[in-house]
Amino acid sequence: MIYLITNSNITTTVEGLERYPVNLRYARELRDDLPSLRAVLVPTPGGQQIPLGQLAQLEYAVGPPGIKSENAKPNAWIYVDISNIDVGTYVERAQKVVAEKIQIPPGYTIVWSGQYEYMQRAQKRLMYVVPVTLVLIFVIIYLSTGSIAETGLVMLGVPFALIGSVWLLWWLDYNMSVAVWVGFIALAGLYAETAIVLLLYLDQSYNDSKAQGLITDRNSLIEAIYRGSVQRVRPILMTVATDVIGLLPIMWSTGTGSEVMKRIATPLVGGIMTSGFTVLVIFPVVYYLWRSRGLPKGERFTGFRKLEETS
């Protein structure tokens, strides 16, 4: 049996540093019609015209769709579409299965490419971006307060503010991605902005009471913290409500780019609620624990009722 290759390189043309193969092939109408190809006449030295089908047995043979190379090595691509799982988790499981069940011959290598490579590059950037962002937030708060202790108080509430983001991501069954990390970074900045405003009012109330000689025990400290906190309840609640209402349309959006925007907005929507709770409830308590060091306990506290009656 003789196989006739109807598409082969006969030479290579050189143009400077470029190399182009010169390809010889039959016309497409002959390549697509095997009987017509067999009827092609081939001239002989004696002048006869002999059909090509009498000189060779022509058949179609299935070959590789294409020979690709990368880094001067032949390679083959396997395309995988996934659903209900993130790319990183899938590749980790697939790598484990391949390592356990497939024996790779010498000279062969496996490379996981596509979106997984993009994710790895993004993760490397985030390893620098997230710490740098937290450091910048710390520096900005320190420049505003001038106190390492107060700066630490604000930064201590960041993990509590992120609890709502994690819950909402779990409820919506969203996987971790670059967009989600962007939402986390934005939430950290938003929480720090809200907490620093409350801290300024707490400091102002505490310093005013201390200047008037009213800070004599822990009960008087509670009164000062209470006065400073109630001044920010309504603004903080308005901020939380405005942010949530402004982001909710994104959660129901559709169309191009909506999937990315949803994953950015989800940490913000969930985290804004818990960050508001952290600022209004947890932060004053931590502030009290910090300021109450060295103060006597005093009698049983009844200041809230007195303040409510006089307000």
Domain chopping of the chain, boundaries? 1-63, 119-310
Name residue, tokens 């801290």: 199
Q: What is the CATH number of domain 119-310?
A: 1.20.1640.10
pLDDT in tens, 46-88: 888 888 888 888 887 776 666 677 777 788 788 888 877 777 7
pLDDT in tens, 255-276: 777 788 888 888 888 888 888 8
Proportion of the chain above pLDDT 70, given as a percent: 91
Q: Per-residue confidence at 2, pLDDT binned at 50, 70, 90? A: very low
pLDDT in tens, 205-259: 888 888 888 777 788 888 888 888 888 888 888 888 888 888 888 888 877 777 8
pLDDT in tens, 94-107: 889 988 888 888 88
The three-class DSSP label of residue 219 is helix
Q: How far apart are CA 213 and CA 74, in angstroms?
A: 83
Name residue, tokens 């920010």: 232
pLDDT at residue 305 tops 50: no
pLDDT at residue 279 tops 80: yes
Helices (H), the chain: 28-31, 34-38, 52-55, 87-101, 115-145, 148-156, 158-161, 163-171, 178-211, 218-230, 233-251, 258-277, 283-291, 303-310
Mean pLDDT of 190-216: 85
